[in-house]
Amino acid sequence: MAWDNSRPVPWNRLIREWLVYAAIMTAVFVVFFRGDNIIGAIAGVLISGPIYLGFGAVMAKFGYTRKRLKDLRAESTDPAPPTVSSDPDAPRPKAAPTSRTTGGGQRPKSTSKRKR
């Protein structure tokens, strides 16, 4: 898609997502880097905010909208169309070949080349 200045940028969503990320990563850094340079780790998390917001705004202007969890749940609850015929007299589809059904290849059995 092309850049479109009229496309809205979901600032509230971007900020909320980054705040959740920042809170989780700050907690992880506090737990794992107790004696080390915790200030540098937290500064890195804070610097990532404008970068994330800028990248998200550019992607929104190009037309990218990520699906929300609500949208994904709605898709999963929609009933899928039946792929198999409901007619009991219809022939069943052939199963995929496996190595146990000798459908995976017609290799001859190996013979032992060791001499006794």
- The residue ranges of every structural domain in the chain are 11-77
Confidence label for 23 from pLDDT (cuts 50, 70 and 90): very high
> What is the reported pLDDT for 108?
64
**One-letter amino acid identity for 110?**
S
- Joined together, the tokens standing for residue 87 give 């007619």
Average pLDDT, rounded, for the chain: 83
Predicted TM-score (pTM) of the model is 0.59
pLDDT per residue over 33-90, tens digit each?
877 788 888 999 999 999 999 999 999 999 988 888 888 888 887 665 556 566 777 7
Q: What is the 3-state secondary structure (H, E, C) of 46-65?
A: HHHHHHHHHHHHHHHHCCCC
> What is the reported pLDDT for 106?
62
Which residue bears the tokens 């219809």?
A: 90
**Displacement of CA 45 from its chain's centroid (Å):** 23
Q: How far apart are CA 42 and CA 29, in angstroms?
A: 8
Q: Which contiguous run of DSSP H or E holds residue 82?
A: none
> What is the reported pLDDT for 116?
59
